[in-house]
Amino acid sequence: MPRGAAVVYRSFGAPDAEAVARRLLAAARARGLLLLIGQDAGLAARIGADGVHLPQRLAHRARPLKRAHPHWIVTAAAHSLAAARTPGPDAVVISAVFPSRSPSAGPPLGAVRLAALVRAAGRPAYALGGVNMKTARRLRDAGLIGLAAVEGLRA
């Protein structure tokens, strides 16, 4: 990953979440990467993470988090135009763009609908869902500030 890219750690309530997050933070710092903690602002604060990534249902918490931690990067998931317009997050992660094996992925938007949603949202946006080296090329003109990937990072 290039320097300045971010990693999102989603612990899903793992009992060793803090230990894992601290190891990830050390690895991220050593590589010039940022670490965002999924949903758990308390964990992000305890370990000194760079911010949080919120699920869509918690995007309304972005403003209070930014007030409490003005230096944090706060992103939120968005699966609709209304969600992409929710005030507060620094950026939204719009999904699913392409077919994905994620159990939470909805029907794919496709590159054209994604670009329209990004323009209508009027805020910085990343694309997620089925993004890999092949599909990323189709998103060049979508108005995104970046790409997010899970399986696309696997060799």
Contact 50, 80 (CB under 8 A): no
DSSP state of 153: G
pLDDT at 23 over 60: yes
**pLDDT of 151 above 90:** no
| Predicted structure pTM score | 0.92
- Rounded to whole angstroms, the Cα distance separating 109 from 127 reads 10
Residue 97 carries which DSSP code? S
Report pLDDT for 125.
Answer: 97
Report the pLDDT value the prediction gives residue 101, as an integer from 0 to 100: 73
> pLDDT tens for residues 55-91?
999 999 999 999 999 999 999 999 999 999 999 999 9
Query: Coil, strand or helix: which one is 6?
Result: strand
Q: What is the pLDDT of residue 155?
A: 46
The secondary structure of 14-42 as a DSSP string is -TTHHHHHHHHHHHHHHHT-EEEEES-HH
Give the dihedral sign, CA 127/130/133/137: negative
Tell me the one-letter amino acid at 8: V
